[in-house]
């Protein structure tokens, strides 16, 4: 028999039970399954690490007060690099790593599509929260691909299993479950893999590299709030002292809020990002077994642009055709054009749905090798796979280390550090968001 709850019980719980933590960072990170994605080299891991450290330290995030809590970082790749970057981020923000409620564990080998992996992550998170006497505020997975497991990210069923585990973990721990993800081969077509990832997420944040080395962040989806919040940050290098000498580590600086995009700006960006997607959608629509005549494709695309001059249509088609070829999405041999990869393109309403007869190339996610990190043993003898920072090496220092940094590190050390703020209790995030909106 299926259990149910009445609306009267729901209201009674809302009025009298302990409030649930619903917001970690207002307008950016709710307590629920979330995704941050973008192309390689834009600092996705860097901004995720900075976010985790700020949440654990009770700092502001681009001027927004956060709901503080412990943070568990699940590394599916480069766990040693992530350890170093966590320490560097803490020192960059003026925090003492020896007292910060942040821990790192290796992603379970069977992947987070499995329930056993979910249970392992929840167990580690609960042990971390108990160790610091501070509830979990965020679980960060780096990356979705490396932590997914042997199944294909293009498969809707497997993607749904991952998102179901993310949602269940977030609800059980009352935290954000933030997965770092990549774009597809065509960077303008959205994130890699099944559309299920976007649809099932409570929040989706996109990261893009701008001119002059500045990186931009935009909230593309917010299930229970307004989307469109925009931010920017700079990527720099910081010196970090180790037993083997001083090393340079990537850090995020000058994280700041931007004004929301105007309708005109949003329209221009959307048009910029969707021309190649429109052309890909047309090609898929008119193809037979994934192929068609190149001239037929060109004529069909020209029909979408009746307001453009013949010369402009020729240039637009040529430029975006080259992009699709360079991205490995289509190939041309003589007069024949073939779809080689379907990248879950966000095709506009001008294009009809994709037919089933399309050649698809699927990349198997990288395997996860066992790590050499030491586990921590709980009071009952059960091994809990997280690591607490080593106090012996920290020496209680909370100031940022000094020293010369390369030319990319042009800002004064400590630039962009958020100010510590009061710790918010569970449920305070809702009131905070309401107060901010009321003040606008």
Q: Does residue 354 form part of some domain?
A: no
- The lowest-confidence range among 293-302, 349-358, 386-395 is 349-358
Q: Does residue 1 form part of some domain?
A: no
∠ at Cα 35 (132, 259), nearest 5°?
100
Cβ atoms within 10 A of the Cβ of 307, count? 7
What pTM was estimated for this model as a whole? Answer: 0.64
DSSP tally for the chain: helices H, then strands E: 12, 16
Tell me the H-state helices in 287-368: 294-302, 310-326
Task: Tell which wins on pLDDT, 260 or 430.
Answer: 260
Average pLDDT over residues 328-355: 61
Average pLDDT over residues 393-410: 33
pLDDT of residue 231: 94
Q: Does residue 367 form part of some domain?
A: no
pLDDT of residue 382: 45
pLDDT of residue 81: 96
Task: Tell which wins on pLDDT, 303 or 246.
Answer: 246
> HSE (CB half, 13 Å, CA atoms) of 158?
18
Residue at a domain's end among 339, 361, 396:
339
Q: Alpha-carbon distance 145 to 186, whole Å?
A: 17
Which range has highest mean pLDDT (18-22, 65-69, 345-349, 388-392)? 65-69
Q: pLDDT tens-digit profile of 268-321?
A: 555 555 687 778 878 877 877 778 999 999 998 898 888 889 999 999 999 989
pLDDT of residue 44: 96
> Which residues are bridge partners to 106 per DSSP?
75
pLDDT of residue 1: 55
Within this chain, do residues 208 and 222 fall inside the same structural domain, yes or no? yes
Q: Does residue 256 form part of some domain?
A: yes
Query: 82-94: string of b/e by CB count within 10 Å (b at 16+)?
Result: bbebbbbbbbbbb
pLDDT at 415 over 80: no
pLDDT of residue 286: 83
Q: pLDDT tens-digit profile of 11-32?
A: 999 999 988 889 999 999 999 9
Q: Does residue 198 form part of some domain?
A: yes
**Of the candidates 72, 76, 44, the residue with the CA atom closest to the CA atom of residue 149:** 76
Within this chain, do residues 44 and 124 fall inside the same structural domain, yes or no? yes
Mean pLDDT over the full length of the chain: 79
Average pLDDT over residues 330-343: 79
Q: Alpha-carbon distance 276 to 272, whole Å?
A: 9
Q: Does residue 199 form part of some domain?
A: yes
Within this chain, do residues 108 and 217 fall inside the same structural domain, yes or no? yes
∠ at Cα 238 (233, 240), nearest 5°?
145
pLDDT of residue 419: 40
DSSP category for residue 213: G
pLDDT of residue 268: 59
Q: Alpha-carbon distance 25 to 350, whole Å?
A: 36
pLDDT of residue 359: 41
Q: Alpha-carbon distance 436 to 137, whole Å?
A: 21
**Of the candidates 15, 16, 32, the residue with the CA atom closest to the CA atom of residue 24:** 32
Within this chain, do residues 106 and 240 fall inside the same structural domain, yes or no? yes
228 lies in which domain range? 11-260+374-439
The β-bridge relationship of strands 336-339 and 330-333 is antiparallel
Burial class (CB in 10 A: 0-12, 13-18, 19+), 262: exposed
Q: pLDDT tens-digit profile of 201-238?
A: 999 999 998 766 689 999 999 999 999 999 999 999 99
What CATH number did the domain enclosing 221 receive? Answer: 3.40.50.300
Quote the tokens at residue 371.
């790590």
Quote the tokens at residue 127.
């042990």
Within this chain, do residues 381 and 398 fall inside the same structural domain, yes or no? yes
Distances from the Cα of 93 to the Cα of 64, 145, 151, 175, 392, angstroms: 15, 29, 38, 22, 20
Quote the tokens at residue 12.
């009674």
Within this chain, do residues 164 and 17 fall inside the same structural domain, yes or no? yes
Average pLDDT over residues 141-165: 96
Q: How many domains does the chain have?
A: 2
Q: What is the DSSP string of 146-204?
A: HHH-SS-TT-HHHHHHHHHHHHHHHHHHTSEEEEEEEB-SSGGG-BSS-THHHHH-SEE
> Which residues are bridge partners to 88 per DSSP?
none
> Which pLDDT band holds residue 192 (cuts at 50, 70, 90)?
very high
- What three-state secondary structure class fits 217? strand
- What three-state secondary structure class fits 391? helix
């Amino acid at each position: 028999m299926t259990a149910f709850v009445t609306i009267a019980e729901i209201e009674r719980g809302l009025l009298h039970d302990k409030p649930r933590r619903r917001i970690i960072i207002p307008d950016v990170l709710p307590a629920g399954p979330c995704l941050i994605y973008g192309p390689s080299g834009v600092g996705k891991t860097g901004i995720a690490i900075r976010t985790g450290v700020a949440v654990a330290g009770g700092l502001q995030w681009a001027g927004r007060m956060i709901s503080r809590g412990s943070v568990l970082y699940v590394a599916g790749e480069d766990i040693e690099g992530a350890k170093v970057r966590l320490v560097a981020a803490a020192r960059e923000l003026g925090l003492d790593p020896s007292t910060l409620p942040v821990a790192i564990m290796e992603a379970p080998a069977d992947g987070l599509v499995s329930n056993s992996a979910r249970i392992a992550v929840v167990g580690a998170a609960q042990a971390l929260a108990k160790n610091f006497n501070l509830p979990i505020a965020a679980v960060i997975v780096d990356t979705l691909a490396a932590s997914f497991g042997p199944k294909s990210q293009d498969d809707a069923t497997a993607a749904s299993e991952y998102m179901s585990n993310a949602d269940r973990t977030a609800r059980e721990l009352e935290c954000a479950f933030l997965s770092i993800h990549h774009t597809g081969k065509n960077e303008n077509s959205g994130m890699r893999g099944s559309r299920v990832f976007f649809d099932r997420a409570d929040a989706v944040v996109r990261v893009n590299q701008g001119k002059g080395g500045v990186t931009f962040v935009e909230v593309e989806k917010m299930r229970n709030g307004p989307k469109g919040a925009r931010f920017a940050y700079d990527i720099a290098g910081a010196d970090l002292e180790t037993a083997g000498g001083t090393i340079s580590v990537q850090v995020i600086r000058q994280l700041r809020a931007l004004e929301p995009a105007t309708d005109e700006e949003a329209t221009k960006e959307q048009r910029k990002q969707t021309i190649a997607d429109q052309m890909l959608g047309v090609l898929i629509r008119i193809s037979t077994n994934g192929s068609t005549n190149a001239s037929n494709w060109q004529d069909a695309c020209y029909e979408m642009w009746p307001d453009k001059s013949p010369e402009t249509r020729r240039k637009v088609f040529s430029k975006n055709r080259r992009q699709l070829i360079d991205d490995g999405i289509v190939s041309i041999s003589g007069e024949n054009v073939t779809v080689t990869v379907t990248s879950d393109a966000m095709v506009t309403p001008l294009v009809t749905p994709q037919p089933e007869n399309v050649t698809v190339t699927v990349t198997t996610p990288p395997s996860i090798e066992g790590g050499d990190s030491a586990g921590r043993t709980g009071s009952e003898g059960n091994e809990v796979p997280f690591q607490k920072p080593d106090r012996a090496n920290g020496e209680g220092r909370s100031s940022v280390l000094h020293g010369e940094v390369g030319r990319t590190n042009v800002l004064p050390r400590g630039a962009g550090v958020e100010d510590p703020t009061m710790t918010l209790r569970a449920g305070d995030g809702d009131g905070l968001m309401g107060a901010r909106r009321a003040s606008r």
